[in-house]
Chain A
């Protein structure tokens, strides 16, 4: 006999409201029904009232954690409509801010995850280290969380010598600190007992379920948008996707920790190759045509579709966020998992519900 237990909308491990109706048989989940709609804001409709420049700021406010990458993706999509190439220095600054964003997002997730399996002091450590990254982002962009750095045609602020030195100094510190917390996440007996072999998804299953980001790469699929033709710049920086083949919660955690090192390496390379020149070009006229732009966000691949019709407003903006792709994978991962492990499994897809519902 099965019992239905609601998980959420309010739950200690969930920063945002999502409700899962769990069918439980003897403490083991047999069925899941997600229900959304608690934070739907209708942002895709709202852009009707704003012009294409102002829409950048709406896109940045879809999500507080990956906001810089939302802005960067949107502006690049609109630049595709205009068929312009922005100055190289602006592209490098976007990469630096985007990767810093990934570092702080992954540290935030590691903290939340540690909190999720009851390791409070590890949670404090992660968030303490994240604070240094946020300080650097605040000094580069002027804002702590929603950076407003990218705009159509380039970036709004240039990097100064002082900011670069400060960033490099912070990266050295954060790299050694990440090594410290990596020891706990990867080697600690209790953590391993909790994570190894939990909610395993095979390579094939994760691929067919359309998952994105660390959820997909944790199952052995080397899919990363930073390798595509849209992001040539990452090739120059020596980017390699991070892949783990086990497909369980432990593998997904390891992907995120290794991605921290990868991001730190990318920022260092980007700073060493930072070209001189302009950071923005003026854009004239109104967008026409349609374009698809994809970016690798901390949570996975985001797809932007923009359509312009020659007026200052865009005709259609569609955003497929990574969590939107990862929620159906919960339907496949959760059955067979014990009720006490459900919070951990839900956290490993790094749910961002305000992204999902927009």
Chain B
């Protein structure tokens, strides 16, 4: 009686779906959730902007800002692998729906070898 077997197992087993908005699965630790930018070591080289396939990253040297257009980002991690100072990392936390379109971070250039830019605290405080 294959049919009876099937009916009984289907009655007794848990549904394979989740009650989504109330019950949210933890994201996997390998999941590419969102880009995290740590401005401390950034040297504003602009490599991430150059490598970004959808042109989501804008690095402005004059204003010392690093800007990510979250709506354009495709989570390819080209910037993460390309950053010479390892400033960009990826977090497995899911980005919230309806988050702000732009993430703008002011970059305090700390260890620039020449042309001492001592006014770094000002740039950091402007954030």
Question: Which A residues form the contact surface with B (CB < 8 A)?
Answer: 50, 53-54, 56-58, 128, 131, 135, 138-143, 146, 148, 156-157, 163
Segment among B38-46, B60-68, B70-78, B107-115 that sits at the interface with chain A: B70-78
Chain A residues, CB < 8 A from B76:
57, 148
Whether a CB of chain A sits under 8 angstroms from the CB of B104 is: no
Residue of B nearest to A148 (CB): B76
Q: Which residues of B contact A139 (CB under 8 A)?
A: 28, 30-31
| Least Cβ–Cβ distance between A166 and chain B, in angstroms | 10
Query: CB distance A138 to B28 under 8 Å?
Result: yes
Shortest Cβ gap from A118 to chain B (Å)? 19
Q: Which of A53, A135, A143, A157 is within 8 Å of B75, CB to CB?
A: A143
CB <8 Å contact, B81 and A57: no
Q: By DSSP majority rule, is chain A's interface helix, strand, loop, or mixed?
A: helix
17 CB contacts below 8 A, A to B, read A53-B78, A54-B78, A57-B74, A58-B53, A135-B28, A138-B30, A139-B28, A142-B31, A142-B75, A142-B77, A142-B90, A143-B32, A146-B74, A148-B74, A156-B77, A157-B30, A163-B30
The A-B contact count (CB < 8 A) is 41
- Chain B interface category by residue count: 10 to 19
Question: In the bound complex, what is the Cα–Cα distance between A58 and B53 (angstroms)?
Answer: 8
Determine whether the beta carbon of B16 is less than 8 Å from that of A156. Answer: no
Binding site for A on B (CB under 8 A): 16, 28, 30-32, 51, 53-54, 74-78, 81, 90
Smallest CB gap from A57: residue in B = B53
Q: Looking across the interface, which residue of chain B has its beta carbon closest to that of A180?
A: B6
Quote the shortest CB–CB distance from B75 to chain A (angstroms). 6
Contact A138 B74 (CB under 8 A): no
Provide the bound-state CA to CA distance between A163 and B31, in Å: 13
**Residues of chain B lying within 8 A (CB to CB) of residue A142:** 30-32, 75, 77, 90
Residues of A within 8 A of B90 (CB): 142
The docked-state distance in angstroms from the alpha carbon of A157 to that of B30 is 10
**In the complex, A131 Cα to B25 Cα: how many Å?**
14
Q: How far is the CA of A53 from the CA of B47 in the complex (A)?
A: 14
Q: Which residue of B lies closest to A163 (CB)?
A: B30
**How far does the Cβ of B7 sit from chain A's closest Cβ, in whole Å?**
12
Among B30, B32, B74, max chain A CB count under 10 A is at B30
Whole-angstrom distance between the Cβ of A188 and the nearest chain B Cβ: 12
What is the bound-complex CA distance between A56 and B74, given in angstroms? 12
Residues in B with CB closer than 8 Å to A143 are: 32, 75
Q: Which residue of B lies closest to A183 (CB)?
A: B2
Contacts of A128 in B (CB 8 A): 16
Q: Which of B75, B76, B90 has the most CB of A within 10 A?
A: B76
Inter-subunit contact B16/A148 (CB<8 Å): no
Contact B81 A50 (CB under 8 A): no
3 tightest A-B CB contacts, nearest first: A142-B32, A54-B53, A57-B53
